Structure 1
């Protein structure tokens, strides 16, 4: 009897061990695939090359080898890591799966949205392929979404007709309605803004209610075009930065290191990167003394010419002036960028900058230079404040005034968006709102405003979460009441920029799991 009991007990334990082993063996491929999906997601979000996945596996194995002391556990964990498919080809496939998953979610939300705004920009990549980047902003019944809609390669010409045709095909293939696009934002290229064959004009034939705008960030950059003496100063600074040979560049960097300079190199500007001019000028002015030391020791023919310029206080005053102005412009540019910006935010920033320009002009006219500390070091008397500086400020203000024409929103509407509880209902708010949004029902708008302003919860919501989340919740309450290939580039950008999260568990369950290397 005792023998029989021991036999049954041993059999049960063995059976349990075998069951656990079979269970682990069954789920191990799924876990390995889920792990590879998560690694691929992180690498794609960080914009890393596909081959980095193999490096990640090597790093994980090295960590296990150093951290875990128990040999049995170490062998088990290392074996599990080795079974995770993290080759570069596996990473490519995982990125395709993840991008398709978040894209499917995006399309599902877009099909439910009544309205959406589109931003279109065309740029050429390093393979000379024109890439049409389309961003979409919409309300998904919970919050505002800003997502990369698509990246369309344009192999040939990039005229307005061709761009419109490409977008039309994309909308049709994905079941989206072009009539739901209420606003289109583009740059100022003729292919986008042409009155007859531009993208905006062609789209308006399909969606007559469409409002088209020139990108505010792009307009701010266009306001700062240089000309005359200041352009010459800028060109001379850029000429020095670009003139050094590889040897001279190495020697200059060595000198900066030996002198314990604040920076270890100059910055090379790029017209495509709008912030680069200001950064390059700031670095150049900050390293003036080190540059003078280097040029005095240099035996190159151009060194004497560059040295004479940098020793000239008038030249450096202009260069430092440009550095300060571009710093203010860069600050404006950055303030206009980013997610969750409302039209009110952008217009306020654009309207505030001309006021700052008035302040700068007054500062220059009285010679105090409070807002231009670097030029103040090069200017010994107010007489050195040249007409070039004051003229540039005046022209900059004039350019902003021209660009702002048509961007100004009624004050009542701006205040209403910021704090609807402070605006008088009896005034002409509804009429002002209808000027901005012609489709609005003034009567319904006024009644809903009365209901909203009677809610203490809504007032607390505004104080706690700010205007964007406040208006989101207003809508929720209202509803409850009633080298890469073009394809791979598209997928990598989608993952890097999206706010959606992939459904990893569902993806693992819906695909066949195989081990890879």
Structure 2
């Protein structure tokens, strides 16, 4: 009985602490959370009739002495003023939120287009200049113009906004990387316009049914660029991004000694930090360029003469003007020669092609200048044959290089491209032996127009061409041996239903439970349901590839592969682990190399004082696939007008 009375007392106490609506008219209080707030003095009190009444009678004696009608009128007036003030504040906050969102959006556009921070001021000036005409027929034209004036777009504001936008993107990256099972890295080092060494680190990981390639760091290397320096920078980046280092399964680099040195190279040092074996890859594009360079060394003398003539004509202003005038006089479709850049070695293909197309004009120009005798090669049949062959083979190599370029390409696609080119080299060799020259258009045209077959050196030059192709075949076979060793393992992501266990190479996957994997593979290959999923997937990939080749419509085939693997139940978790790990592998450092081009556009000779923090934020916003959460950023911002 005592217990029931106690419960009733507690219940009554609870009821008395609930806000009563009649208090507003009687005592001038409103409800705010679990408190009562006085509209007359903004005082707060607990929600209890005795407390509310005591506050009113103690603090507002002058009102208590008035009649009930006068009390209600004063309370109603105070309540109206409070509501008006609240509405005004809400409108002010809402307006500020809108202008903040605009400044964040403008900052994001400025960063994505690699524009200077002061472009915000230019945008504002342009908007204000256009607004009177653009909104002339709007009744609220003046309000619109005022809103533009209120939008903060000063240089410092844009800089601060860009830093905040980059922080927001970084937080999104952290969340997704944290949920990823495996991560692969690709990194490269270059110098900016101030000659400072900058290290770019990209991560590739799976988020749901999407494969992401994201910049996770661009670090300055203060002194040396040794393996230990790079390892320290990468470790710091991983810590900052809160990445579990044990999730890293592969690293792709440019193959420089500081990266791949056996004892003190980055890979060796980093693998110790990871604690398990990792796949180490030398960028396929870089290796292909080395193959192209090494395989054609016997033709370096041809390139030397071409470079000398091009420099004579194009590097000297007077000669360039004369040659341009000559091209115009003979109605040439070209407006000049292309300069050769030894750093970008594959540029020689374009240089050679333009040189060959303008060969007659070059001869005429040198003859007019009295310098044709200095270059007897331009009249030498054997040298010109080598030039034509060199031009043709470089075109084939450049075509391969273009196919290898780009981001979000799985390693299986890259290996297939290399394998196809190796097969083409054999076809090129047979074509030279048969003297058909079907795949050497410049050489074929020159041979048909000259009397090269009547010379005693015709057979020798054919043998030289065959030797060049043989050298290229050997280079490709040697440099891509690692990829061939892993080719069957890599193909597993597309053909798990027909892959045999003994063909898989697990040497770099010691973190995988091999025994469980073998048993799961048997179960998987014995299930017609799961086998059919991959048969259907390959049919879809065929359609995607057909559309790409015939209609130039590009769809992401990688995500389709990932989606199929994600559909498998966890009973095949070991198979899924291997597939996810392979799908994350970077086949090249193209992402890093393209980033350095963006870096040089952002931090150029005019903006060379841009800090590492600011330039890194601009670069991140330029290359990321994430969209900053502008509504969240603007709603959290306490806006201050910049001007």
TM-score by length of 2: 0.69
The CA RMSD over aligned residues, in Å, is 3.2
- Whether 2:515 is the aligned partner of 1:442: answer no
* Residues 35-92 of structure 1, C-alpha deviations (whole Å, 9 max, x = no match): 2222222232233333444444455455546655537665554443344333333332
Residue 256 of structure 2 corresponds to 189
Task: Name which of 431, 434, 445 aligns with 1:377.
Answer: 445
- Whether 2:292 is the aligned partner of 1:202: answer no
CA distance in 2, matches of 1:27, 1:479: 48
Tell me if the contact between 1:117 and 1:138 (Cα under 8 Å) persists in the aligned partners: yes
Q: 1:326 to 1:95 in 2, by over 3 A?
A: farther
* Residues 209-264 of structure 1, C-alpha deviations (whole Å, 9 max, x = no match): 21212121111111122565511111222222333312332443444455543332
In the TM superposition, what are the counterparts of 1:86-485 in structure 2 within 5 Å? Answer: 86-206=153-273, 207-225=275-293, 229-243=298-312, 244-257=315-328, 259-298=330-369, 303-304=371-372, 308-379=376-447, 380=450, 381-382=452-453, 383=458, 385-408=461-484, 413=489, 416-420=492-496, 423-424=497-498, 429-433=500-504, 435=506, 437-438=509-510, 439=512, 440=514, 441-451=517-527, 453-454=529-530, 459-464=535-540, 468-478=558-568, 483=608, 484-485=610-611
Residue 491 of structure 1 corresponds to 617
Shift of 1:192: 1.0
Deviates more, 1:285-294 or 1:21-30: 21-30
Give the total of aligned pairs.
494
Tell me if the contact between 1:292 and 1:307 (Cα under 8 Å) persists in the aligned partners: no
CA distance in 2, matches of 1:86, 1:311: 64
Tell me if the contact between 2:157 and 2:642 (Cα under 8 Å) persists in the aligned partners: yes
Residue 506 of structure 1 corresponds to 632
Tell me if the contact between 1:296 and 1:307 (Cα under 8 Å) persists in the aligned partners: no
User: Which ranges of structure 1 fall in alignment gaps of 5 or more residues?
Assistant: 1-15
CA distance in 1, matches of 2:158, 2:321: 38
Deviates more, 1:188-197 or 1:404-413: 404-413
* Residues 478-512 of structure 1, C-alpha deviations (whole Å, 9 max, x = no match): 47899233222322221121111110100111222
Deviates more, 1:438-447 or 1:109-118: 438-447
Shift of 1:444: 1.9
CA distance in 1, matches of 2:384, 2:538: 49
CA distance in 1, matches of 2:441, 2:356: 12
Tell me if the contact between 1:185 and 1:213 (Cα under 8 Å) persists in the aligned partners: yes
Q: 1:145 to 1:500 in 2, by over 3 A?
A: same
Tell me if the contact between 2:200 and 2:218 (Cα under 8 Å) persists in the aligned partners: yes
Secondary structure, counterpart of 1:464 in structure 2 = helix
Shift of 1:181: 0.9
Tell me if the contact between 1:133 and 1:151 (Cα under 8 Å) persists in the aligned partners: yes
Shift of 1:362: 1.5
Tell me if the contact between 1:452 and 1:458 (Cα under 8 Å) persists in the aligned partners: no
CA distance in 2, matches of 1:329, 1:161: 35
Tell me if the contact between 2:495 and 2:534 (Cα under 8 Å) persists in the aligned partners: no
* Residues 386-437 of structure 1, C-alpha deviations (whole Å, 9 max, x = no match): 54432221111110011121211577656553355xx44xxx6233335475
Shift of 1:182: 0.7
CA distance in 1, matches of 2:336, 2:140: 49
CA distance in 2, matches of 1:256, 1:68: 52
Residue 70 of structure 1 corresponds to 137
Tell me if the contact between 1:434 and 1:442 (Cα under 8 Å) persists in the aligned partners: no
Tell me if the contact between 2:411 and 2:490 (Cα under 8 Å) persists in the aligned partners: no
CA distance in 1, matches of 2:133, 2:331: 38
Secondary structure, counterpart of 2:567 in structure 1 = helix
Tell me if the contact between 1:141 and 1:475 (Cα under 8 Å) persists in the aligned partners: no
Deviates more, 1:65-74 or 1:128-137: 65-74
- Whether 2:641 is the aligned partner of 1:515: answer yes
Q: 1:390 to 1:506 in 2, by over 3 A?
A: same
Deviates more, 1:405-414 or 1:362-371: 405-414
Secondary structure, counterpart of 1:47 in structure 2 = coil
User: Which ranges of structure 2 fall in alignment gaps of 5 or more residues?
Assistant: 1-82, 545-556, 574-607
TM-score by length of 1: 0.85
- From the CA coordinates, give the structure whose radius of gyration is larger: 2
Shift of 1:443: 1.1
CA distance in 1, matches of 2:131, 2:377: 59
Q: 1:486 to 1:409 in 2, by over 3 A?
A: same
Deviates more, 1:488-497 or 1:56-65: 56-65
CA distance in 1, matches of 2:335, 2:133: 36
Tell me if the contact between 1:413 and 1:429 (Cα under 8 Å) persists in the aligned partners: no
CA distance in 2, matches of 1:101, 1:488: 15
Q: 1:367 to 1:56 in 2, by over 3 A?
A: farther
Tell me if the contact between 1:50 and 1:92 (Cα under 8 Å) persists in the aligned partners: yes
Q: 1:185 to 1:131 in 2, by over 3 A?
A: same
